[in-house]
Amino acid sequence: MPSPSVPPKRKPKPERSLAGRFPGLADEWDPALNDGVTAWDVSPSSKMRPVWTCSTCGHRWRTLVRNRALPQEGTNGACPPCAGVAAGPLRNLARSRPDLASEWHPTRNGDLTPSTVTPQSARLAWWYCEPHGYAWRAKVAHRYRGGDRCAECVRAEPLPESVAYVRLFST
């Protein structure tokens, strides 16, 4: 990862530092990932953009210290996967729907994998049904909601009961 964008100029007093005022945020701060800078070295209003490690899901991301310590309207420093806006170790298609992940096209999706998309993602992905050798494109969210299945799988399904009933009595 690149180094933090704005290193702190001078240390705040311990009781006024990020670690002194927000111990919970200090727990998500690893000096080893931030060029040795610690949560004691910055104030809560700092514009430094360190790497955070979510204590809930383990995801790592960057956001300004002030976005996390002093969130204002329009700035939300929360962990993206936990906030539901990005895939992470606990929130991704591979984890929530292994059945759909098994139909993920092995070669046509570039860097996108079932572990890097959320189940509700609007991204278009390629899918592959192995039994039918059928490849198609569909939005992840549509598939998650049960739509956009392999056309051959849908065709192979038995007729609904009502159709069979009508046939029985129409002869």
Region from 25-33, 98-106, 114-122, 125-133 binding Zn ion, contact rule CB under 5 A: 125-133
Interface with Zn ion: number of residues (CB under 5 A)? 12
DSSP characters for 35-68?
A: TT--TTSS-TT-----EEE-TTT--EEE--HHHH
| Residue 108 backbone phi and psi in degrees, to 5 | -95, 5
Shortest distance in whole angstroms from residue 87 CB to Zn ion: 11
- Give the one residue of 18, 54, 65, 87 binding Zn ion; rule: CB under 5 A: 54
Residue that is written with structure tokens 């240390």 in the block: 11
Shortest distance in whole angstroms from residue 30 CB to Zn ion: 15
- Give the one residue of 17, 42, 59, 121 binding Zn ion; rule: CB under 5 A: 59
Shortest distance in whole angstroms from residue 50 CB to Zn ion: 16
Region from 31-39, 57-65, 109-117, 160-168 binding Zn ion, contact rule CB under 5 A: 57-65
- Give the one residue of 33, 70, 82, 138 binding Zn ion; rule: CB under 5 A: 82
The reply on whether position 57 binds Zn ion by CB under 5 A is: yes
- Residue 8's closest CA among 74, 31, 77, 28? 31
- Give the one residue of 25, 65, 79, 140 binding Zn ion; rule: CB under 5 A: 79
**Closer CB to Zn ion, 3 or 55, in the complex:** 55
The reply on whether position 130 binds Zn ion by CB under 5 A is: no
The reply on whether position 51 binds Zn ion by CB under 5 A is: no
Distance CA 163, CA 168 (A): 9
DSSP characters for 4-18?
A: PSS--SSPPPGGGSH
What does the block give as tokens for 77? 């420093």
Would you say 33 and 62 are in contact if contact means Cβ atoms under 8 Å apart?
no
Distance CA 70, CA 165 (A): 65
Positions touching Zn ion (CB under 5 A) are 54, 56-57, 59, 79, 81-82, 129, 132, 150, 152-153
